[in-house]
Structure 1
Amino acid sequence: MLSVINQKGPLLEGIFRKPACINSCRNLKEKLNSGDRVNCYSKSVHVVACVLKDFLENIEGSLLSSKLYEKWLGVLNEVTEKEKINAAQRLLTQLPKANVVLLRYLFGVLYNIEQQSSSNQMTAYDLSVCIAPSILCPLNSCSLELEDNFIKKASLVQFLIENCLKIFGEDITSLLGENSKSCHNNEKAAVTEKQTVESKPVRVIVISKRAQLQNATKSPCGPSTYMSTV
């Protein structure tokens, strides 16, 4: 699912924010849960994004760990950006390895989407509002979350998106291959290069030489010489 969103999401307006057909989401979840092979590339990207958020919400103990809930909210209390990044990295070491792996893929996708916010209208803040509730929950998830805590949580996820290359490593943007924008740029570059070659001007130089004999002669010269379903 992440691969589909990474490839098609960056140029899709409102990814993670726009609602999807409930029946389509239910059908996709049922097929994935039953173990059937599903071609997610044939599904609506909004449906895939909705099912992914539901998957993240149902990870036992929360992807960022409910036990570390208060510590995660405290990251933004650090003074400098470097201290905040170090605090986030220390908390990552306390998570199960599987959680960290999934987080790297997830934030790589979120970063790629945010980089094209002028096209998809999804800034780091917009993405954080949509994703934060799915990856960090209070230990007692049944209790109502304070509005102030939700704002802090969204701000935290926004910070993680904006600084994910420093936190998770610069390679996270390419873990799932090229996204739609990259492919589009590569195709555009290839077309431009082809056009440049085809339209390159050719200079033809003709040298005339008058013979010393009765008949004048002319001698022409030729042209100079790119889960798991989750």
Structure 2
Amino acid sequence: MRNSAEGMSEIDFEQLAEIELKKDECELSSLGERKASLLQPAAEEVDLSMDHPYYDIARHGIIQVAGDDNCGRKVITFSCCRMPPSHQLDHIRLLQYKKNIKALYIVHPTNFIKILWHIFKPLISHKFGKKVSYLNYLSDLREHLKYDQLIIPEDVIRHDEKLRSAQKGQPIPSTITPPPRPPLPTQQFGVSLQYLKNKNKGELIPPVMKHTVSYLKEKGLQTEGLFRRSPSIQMIKEIQKLYNLGKPVNFDEYGNIHIPAVILKTFLRELPEPLLTFECYNEILGITSVESSLRVANCKQIIQKLPEHNFVILKYLMCFLHAVSQESILNKMTASNLACVFGLNLIRPLQGISSLSALVPVNMFTELLIEFYHQIFNSRTVAGESLP
């Protein structure tokens, strides 16, 4: 690809977590640190020593963690304009994540790239071929992901402007983001906890959480791989729409226990402010520097600072996840496994996006909340709270 092209691929953090679950905790921590150095979230220059294992890749700033797509999956940008000559870079190490790609968007594709793709397409698996989409302008990305979170090199932005200005007499896609629509009175996804409380007669536990948790506790506790399977995205969107319109959802009709599991994760991920709040983010990232024997107490201190409403919902959720972990002999979902699935749905920074360096502390913090649920949550009760 020449300098004017930028490729971008999505990576599902849960897919990454799935791989990490197969490794022991020590290896996970080490690998997490190395990957965090490779995928810096926003820095143009990466400050690494020359003997760092990923120095040769990270110093170029080719790969960046860059927000979420419209399905909540993490996005990675791959900036071809920053690619050095081939003799300066190990391309095999650079493309080590290719097996985890869910979709590949190639922005500003040249005719040469299209010709190459046409030539080699018969040699590429049909499954991977369906993941590739060509986009002519950066603005086209808005249909697929949260564009404003992307980290785009200035060279690519200037090239995009040049291409758009060259299209004389042709309609150019608008780059203006339309104002958000006001939520429906029955809206359940993407609205604040306070909004849900006000619209549900003061109920502390949001209806989606209560519905999915109750269903899963009754019928899914012993399901192997609970929370680690992904049903059809279109089906999930349809169920979200039913909830948002205030219509009843009967999970028995779908015959797939993994659907309510994904709905629960989606609800948490789409909260305007994460359940663990922006304020707690830095403290949570510091859990790895706390002495092992003091980590549970440290978790308890952080949790005590949460607003009452957040505390009640978190307690409700962790009570349920603790019950799931108690069936891990059958469902294979230990506290550690559940933490890998839920951690990044519970906390994120106020500005920017979470980098892979946050993966280890966030997962560790979440695992402690699940495993030591009784010790951490037993000293605080709130009027009107309920447990699953």
What's the TM-score once normalised by structure 2's chain length? Answer: 0.41
> What SS does the corresponding residue of 1:155 show, helix, strand or coil?
helix
Q: Does structure 2 conserve the Cα–Cα contact (< 8 Å) formed by 1:5 and 1:109?
A: no
- C-alpha spacing 1:120/1:169, structure 2 compared with 1 (3 Å): same
Partner of 1:63: 275
> What SS does the corresponding residue of 1:10 show, helix, strand or coil?
coil
Partner of 2:231: 20
Any residues of structure 2 matched to 1:60-209 within 5 Å, and which? Answer: 60-81=272-293, 83-140=294-351, 142-143=352-353, 145-169=354-378, 175-176=387-388
- Matches of 1:53 and 1:127, distance apart in 2: 11
Q: What code does the residue aligned with 2:337 have?
A: D
Report percent identity of matched pairs: 27
- Matches of 1:110 and 1:41, distance apart in 2: 22
Q: What code does the residue aligned with 1:63 have?
A: L
Q: Does structure 2 conserve the Cα–Cα contact (< 8 Å) formed by 1:18 and 1:46?
A: yes
1:8 and 2:216 matched: no
Q: What code does the residue aligned with 2:372 have?
A: N
Measured after TM superposition, the shift of residue 103 of structure 1 is 0.7
Partner of 1:37: 248
1:53 and 2:269 matched: no
Q: Does structure 1 conserve the Cα–Cα contact (< 8 Å) formed by 2:299 and 2:368?
A: no
**Structure in which a larger fraction of residues adopt helix:** 1
Partner of 1:186: none
- Matches of 2:307 and 2:244, distance apart in 1: 23
Further displaced range: 84-93 or 25-34: 84-93
Deviations 1:56-92 (A, max 9, x none): 01112211012210101223433253x3223222222
Q: Structure 2 unaligned runs (5+)? A: 1-211
Measured after TM superposition, the shift of residue 41 of structure 1 is 5.1
Computing the radius of gyration from Cα coordinates, the structure with the larger value is 1
Q: Please report the RMSD computed on the Cα atoms of aligned residues, expressed in angstroms.
A: 2.2
Greater RCO structure (CA 8 Å; 6+ sep): 1
Deviations 1:162-215 (A, max 9, x none): 111111139x9x922xxxxxxxxxxxxxxxxxxxxxxxxxxxxxxxxxxxxxxx
- C-alpha spacing 1:76/1:169, structure 2 compared with 1 (3 Å): farther
Deviations 1:138-168 (A, max 9, x none): 222x43x332221111111112111111111
Q: Structure 1 unaligned runs (5+)? A: 177-230
> What SS does the corresponding residue of 2:220 show, helix, strand or coil?
helix
Q: What code does the residue aligned with 1:150 have?
A: L
